[in-house]
A and B are shown apart, each in its own frame.
Chain A
């Protein structure tokens, strides 16, 4: 049994730290970037499919942390791309057995739902996520990237060990990349 565990572990070490297993169980269905007064806000829709094991774990009270990651990179022909902005949004899905409610927490905010599909529906809709401040970014052509994944390291340790060897615990979407043109704000930089 220990061998079954140890061999993939050693193999993984030998081949470098494992990239998350390619499990296509989160799909990005819709992305929209909106310019507002403060900068850029992101709307995104995901399709999250919880496999029975994860569903069981949620129903048994294990809290799941979903991380939405947004990256903005500028192309550089001479070196690796420059990572300009990196944003994370942490969403926590948990089940409260006493009230039989599912909760989604986003920072200090939380919502309760009486059923899991309901909670997942809300979870998979990210709205008005302020990803870029106007002041922190220069105009130009960028490459934006977005994905959502289950943060395994937030799980209790036994599940982390499971996640090392089992694909069932790896829940992630592919990086979705698209070019993004940032225009110079008209209001700023008045001629001196």
Chain B
């Protein structure tokens, strides 16, 4: 594009120069003038095509909303008047001026003067011719009465007298009879053509002005010479006279100018057209070239801005890698440089923010991870006591999904009412202080702590709770063990003396008393003895509970053990329905203690089934992961809800007789086996006790 423009402008300059030179009054290129005009016009057309192409490109850019194209258009609209207005002005003025000046060349007076000059020349020449004609007639007259011989002699003298350059006497046949010349120049005189001779004879005279383009003018006069007699033929006298050179030159000059003037005046329209054409072509070429140049300049001016814009758009899209090229050292260059450095700073700032955010996120994720994996339950409430956040631990402890509870005010919770009430009351009671409360729910014991979040961090409340059921149970078990040990030690000692004393009282006094008294004594002492014995039994039980020896753990077949125990209960009371998983791996346990566990549990079940029409006991074993599960279910009355939490504590019993130590002992044994025990009521009727015992490590793997 650029090169096309440069080439066409150069060509245009050359062609215009040639055209202007040729349009001047010179012979230059006169043969190829039309071609030159055509070439110029073709070039103008070509540049116009270039402009059209540029316009088309710009239009399509504008349509496509290419950034910078509107700026290009504005520049262009600014440039164009600067080109068109002066160009058009100069053109119009030149046109006017030229037309006026060409018209001013032609003037009637000049015309008349030139015409007059020419006529002057013609008159002068006519005069010379007439004069020569007169001379010729005089000479012919003098020669007419002479003999031919005399004529030859006389001719030169007469020529001399008349002052004529060249005299010639011709016979009727056209042959030269006599010749007389001034000087000794050419040998041969200029002979008249036969046509001239004929004319001279017919019209009795011939006079003409002759001129060859480069030989100057000469006058030729032919007159017939009258013959002396009829027999003689008529001769012709020819006189040749050169027109004086000064006259020739002047007349020729006048004629030349006259001709040029006439030619000019004839061609004045064409001349005007030439100049107009040249001017128009110049204007068009200039305008088109300037327009094309304006296009280029505009595009060039708006190019860095378009680059900057592209950079800006890239930045807006988040691409900081684009850097506009700095091409100039002017303000645009500085702007570009500033833009680049700004982009760089933005990039740095963004990456810093990014890494900062990543750090924060990591920290948050870390905290969240900790919170999620915290076994304690955490509830976060806002200032209106609406649940905001709950961690995984809370769900696990409460066995609650918290669906529909989030965002709900605590007081309106449809479930977990007791917990919600306790929390609300706790915060109400303690206001801003941190509080702690032990809460007993249906099956578990919770230690709930509440604290108020500082107002700076958004306010609200946080509640942390732990399942302390196991802890409490362990504490109680320990306490009861101590009590049992004390009882066994402190209570058992006085019992023997009491019994002995009662026996001695009876032995000593029975004989001495009346039979009624003796009978009363006997009853009393027996009561004492029986009660002491009962007490002893109770104390023994306690002792046994407190003193349960550490289990001697060994591999054993749980199913075999269960079957062995079940055999003993085959015919006692309720029917047994064993469901033992075949191929159960060996467990680790103390067979004696586990047998007691079985006895206790089966006894409990049977006790619960007393009075039921369709008593039933199910005993199942199955593998659960790396533990073996033993379940004993009955369809009896189940455990009362009230004692569910403390069912493993000593002295918690529903049976009219019984120490309430059965389940406590079971629990103790299972704990010492590193197992787990769970008690639940079955839907409808009955209860189920599930025991988990660890499998033998190797056997667990090998099977």
Which stretch (B38-46, B287-295, B405-413, B622-630) binds chain A?
Answer: B38-46
Q: Are B209 and A62 in contact (CB-based, < 8 A)?
A: no
Contact of B273 with A13 in the complex, beta carbons under 8 Å: no
Judged by a CB distance under 8 angstroms, whether B373 is at the interface is: no
- How far is B254's CA from A64's CA once the two chains are assembled, in angstroms? 21
**Bound complex: CA A56 to CA B277 (Å):** 25
Range class of the B interface residue count: 35 or more
Tell me whether B446 is interfacial, beta carbon within 8 Å.
Answer: no
A161 adjacent to chain B (CB < 8 Å): yes
Contact digits for A87-110, partner B, Cβ 8 Å, 1 yes 0 no: 000000000111111010100001
Partner of A61, one of B210, B211, B259, B269: B259
Question: Are B266 and A62 in touch, CB under 8 angstroms?
Answer: yes
List A contacts of B260 (CB < 8 A): 61
Contact B276 A5 (CB under 8 A): yes
State whether the Cβ of B22 lies closer than 8 Å to any Cβ in chain A. Answer: yes
Contact with B along A63-75 (1 / 0, CB 8 A): 0000000000000
Chain A residue nearest to B211 (CB atoms) is: A99
Known: A1-B273, A158-B270. 12 other contacts (CB 8 A): A2-B280, A9-B41, A13-B45, A60-B259, A97-B255, A110-B212, A152-B34, A153-B34, A157-B30, A161-B270, A161-B273, A164-B37
CB distance from B285 to the nearest CB of A (A): 13
- Determine whether the beta carbon of A161 is less than 8 Å from that of B263: no
- Residue in A2, A60, A156 whose beta carbon sits within 8 Å of that of B276 in the complex: A2
Question: Is the pair B38, A9 in contact by a Cβ cutoff of 8 Å?
Answer: yes
Q: Give Cα A97–Cα B120 distance, bound, in whole angstroms.
A: 12
- Determine the chain A residues whose CB is within 8 A of the CB of B210 once the complex forms: 99, 112
Residues of chain B lying within 8 A (CB to CB) of residue A5: 273, 276-277
Q: Give CA–CA (A61, B266) in the complex, Å.
A: 10
A-B contact pairs, 10 of them (CB 8 A): A2-B273, A2-B276, A57-B263, A62-B263, A98-B118, A98-B254, A101-B211, A157-B30, A158-B274, A160-B34
Does A36 reach chain B (CB closer than 8 Å)? no
Footprint of B on A, CB under 8 Å?
A: 1-2, 5-6, 9-10, 12-13, 17, 56-57, 60-62, 96-101, 103, 105, 110, 112, 152-154, 156-164
CB closest chain-A residue, reference B32: A153
Known: A13-B41, A158-B274. Is A61-B263 also a contact (CB below 8 A)?
yes
Q: How far is the CA of A6 from the CA of B33 in the complex (A)?
A: 15
Q: Is the Cβ of A153 less than 8 Å from the Cβ of B273? A: no
Chain B residues whose CB sits within 8 angstroms of the CB of A9 once the complex forms: 37-38, 41, 277
B residues sitting closer than 8 Å to A (CB atoms) are 22-23, 30-34, 37-38, 41-42, 45, 118, 121-122, 125, 209-213, 217, 251-252, 254-255, 258-260, 262-263, 265-274, 276-277, 279-280
Nearest chain A CB to B574's CB is how many angstroms away? 122
Known: A6-B280, A10-B41, A157-B274. A97 touches B118 (CB 8 A): yes
Chain B nearest CB from A2 CB (Å) reads 4
Q: Are B277 and A2 in contact (CB under 8 A)?
A: yes
In the complex, the answer to whether A153 meets B30 with C-beta atoms within 8 Å is yes
Would you give the shortest CB distance from B514 to chain A, in whole angstroms? 167
Are the CB atoms of A60 and B252 closer together than 8 Å?
no
> Taking A6-B41, A160-B33 as contacts, is the C-beta distance between A60 and B118 under 8 angstroms?
no
Inter-chain CA distance A100–B255, complex, in Å, is 11
CB-CB under 8 A from B267, the residues of chain A are 156, 158-159, 162
A164 pairs with B34, CB closer than 8 A: yes
> Which residue, B42, B122, B125, B270, has most C-beta atoms of chain A within 10 A?
B270
Q: Indicate the member of B122, B212, B251, B277 with the most A CB atoms within 10 Å.
A: B277
Q: Of all chain B residues, which has the CB nearest A61?
A: B259
* CB pair B258 A157 closer than 8 Å: no
Asked if B277 and A60 sit within 8 Å, CB to CB, the answer is no
Q: Which residues of B contact A110 (CB under 8 A)?
A: 212-213
- 8 interchain residue pairs of minimum CB distance: A158-B270, A61-B259, A158-B267, A60-B262, A98-B255, A158-B271, A2-B280, A162-B270
- Chain B CB within 10 Å — which of A97, A99, A154, A161 has the most? A161
Q: How far apart are the CA atoms of A96 and B118 in the complex, in Å?
A: 11
Instruction: Enumerate chain A residues within 8 angstroms of B45, measured Cβ to Cβ.
Output: 10, 13
Residues of A contacting B271 with CB < 8 Å? 158
B211 and A96: CB pair below 8 A? yes
Contacts of B118 in A (CB 8 A): 97-98
In the complex, the chain B residue whose C-beta lies closest to that of A1 is B276
Instruction: Given A9-B38, A10-B41, A99-B209, decide whether A157 and B262 contact each other with a Cβ distance below 8 A.
Output: no
Minimum CB–CB distance from B278 to chain A (whole Å) comes to: 10
